[in-house]
Amino acid sequence: MSILLDQLAKQLGADMIEGGRAGQRRIDRAYAGDRVSDLLNHASDTTLIVTNLANQSVARLIELMEVPGVCLLDGAKPEPAVVETAREHGAALLVSRDGMFETCGKLYKILETACGS
């Protein structure tokens, strides 16, 4: 089972900066981290990436891994290149007002309910 990214964003209380067709992509897991090497190892076409990185590193991750979405934390404002890369590659770009701990806790509950883990 999985959940649509636009539904997840709404339940999470996150703003969707870039959505469109990306909001209709499905995810069944999330991975949180700030080391690009870890994010690359855990990215997949059904994984929401959760990170404090809002720069070219995230844009590169989106290009390389075709992730369905990235959730930035603490109300971060992504660099314009990140927004453009998300748009070009059909990735949703969410911004949570909360930090890593709170966002991951909420995601766990949402995904547990949606995916029946």
Domain containing residue 86: CATH number? 3.40.1390.20
Looking at residue 20, its pLDDT comes to 63
Q: What is the DSSP string of 34-61?
A: S-HHHHHHH--TTEEEEES--SHHHHHH
74 lies in which domain range? 3-115
Distance from C-alpha of 108 to C-alpha of 42, rounded to nearest angstrom: 16
Instruction: Tell me the pLDDT tens digit for each residue of 78-115.
Output: 999 999 999 999 899 999 999 999 999 999 999 999 88
Cβ–Cβ < 8 Å for 46, 2: yes
Cβ–Cβ < 8 Å for 115, 3: yes
Q: Give me the number of domains the chain comprises.
A: 1
Instruction: Report the relative pairing of strands 3-4 and 26-27 from DSSP bridges.
Output: antiparallel
Instruction: Tell me the pLDDT tens digit for each residue of 24-78.
Output: 888 999 999 999 888 888 888 899 999 998 888 899 888 888 889 999 999 999 9
User: pTM for this one?
Assistant: 0.92
